[in-house]
Amino acid sequence: MKISLKTKLAIRDYIAISVGAFIMSVGVGVFLIDAKVVPGGLGGLAITIHYLSDYKIPVGLMMWFFNIPLFLWGLKTLGGQFGIRTFAGFSLYAFSLDLVRGNIPGLGFVRWQDLHSVRDMHQHDFILSILCGAILLGVGLGIVFKFRGTTGGSDIVAAIMQRKFGWKPGHLFMLIDFFVISLAGLVIHFKGLSVDKPALTLTLYAFTLIFIGSRIVDTIIEGFDYAKSAVIISSKPEAIADEIVRKLTRGATAIHGRGLYTNTDREIIYTVVTRKEITLLVDTVKNIDPNAFVIINNVHEILGKGFRHRV
């Protein structure tokens, strides 16, 4: 039986969401929970309750139960927007989190957080440990988002608040993260959970973690800048275009324009080159027309001949 392209893409997306959720669980479950550096959102709230219960309530299980009413609320308010992908995302993340921490019945021997290298990192290289957690959390979440998944929690609340009250999701995320991280800091302080570092220090680490993770998520979704676009305004557009085609073997587009300052018509050249070719492009333009005006921008995605497609 031939599988349709739509089905293949759906399978690819769910595999990617599973991988992303697992990477997130390693970052949080192995490096952050025992370090007492709490990420924001619903996961951070579940970790805080984990601390309050003296580590008796598994984080993943608590997170999953928190997500269920939010998921049903999202379905009722937003319809199919938060459907199977959302359920799969937060379920896989919750399961993976309890898996790597050895909280799944019959798999208690896993406990990656007890590996000697991880323990040694917590004790002697705390910053590296937090960076590992932040990077893995950001990479995993970025993969989940890139393939149209979500881990629920704050995402659902933000979407509902935006629909009902017009609140900006970014502001709501900041508010939720600030509340959760501050609450976790208070719990850590009053329960005396941190021996080596003050609760305030761990709270500041958590805010730094949010910043690093969000930047990594953006990078995963948008991709690294692997090409540059150039807008070239010159009195010698034909000569520059010929050199771009001949020397760089790149295409270029001439766009008709008019200089408002000089009130003269001219052709504006638009082209896209790789990062390593940008210096050659600029040198070529300047050799032909030292007075040329060149604007260079980063390019995250290119669909077309001559450039690799980003998955």
The angle subtended at Cα 173 by Cα 172 and Cα 174, nearest 5°, is: 90
Which pLDDT score is estimated for 159?
A: 72
Which pLDDT score is estimated for 83?
A: 76
Q: For 13-65, what is each residue's pLDDT tens digit?
A: 899 999 999 999 999 999 999 999 999 889 999 999 999 998 889 999 999 99
Separation of alpha carbons 30 and 24, rounded Å = 10
- 258: β partners: 265
All domains of the chain in start order, with CATH: 5-222 (no CATH), 227-299 (3.30.70.120)
Residue with tokens 């007890």: 114
Q: For 78-100, what is each residue's pLDDT tens digit?
A: 666 567 888 899 999 999 999 99
Smallest CA-to-CA distance from 25 within 117, 141, 115, 145 is with: 141
Which pLDDT score is estimated for 170?
A: 66
Which pLDDT score is estimated for 305?
A: 65
Q: What letter represents residue 144's amino acid?
A: V
pTM: predicted TM-score of the whole model, two decimal places: 0.78
Which pLDDT score is estimated for 80?
A: 65
Which pLDDT score is estimated for 310?
A: 54
Which pLDDT score is estimated for 131?
A: 94
Which pLDDT score is estimated for 202?
A: 93
Separation of alpha carbons 141 and 67, rounded Å = 16
Who contacts 34 (Cβ-Cβ below 8 Å, separation ≥6)?
113, 122
The parts of the chain modelled with pLDDT lower than 50 are: none
- 259: β partners: 264
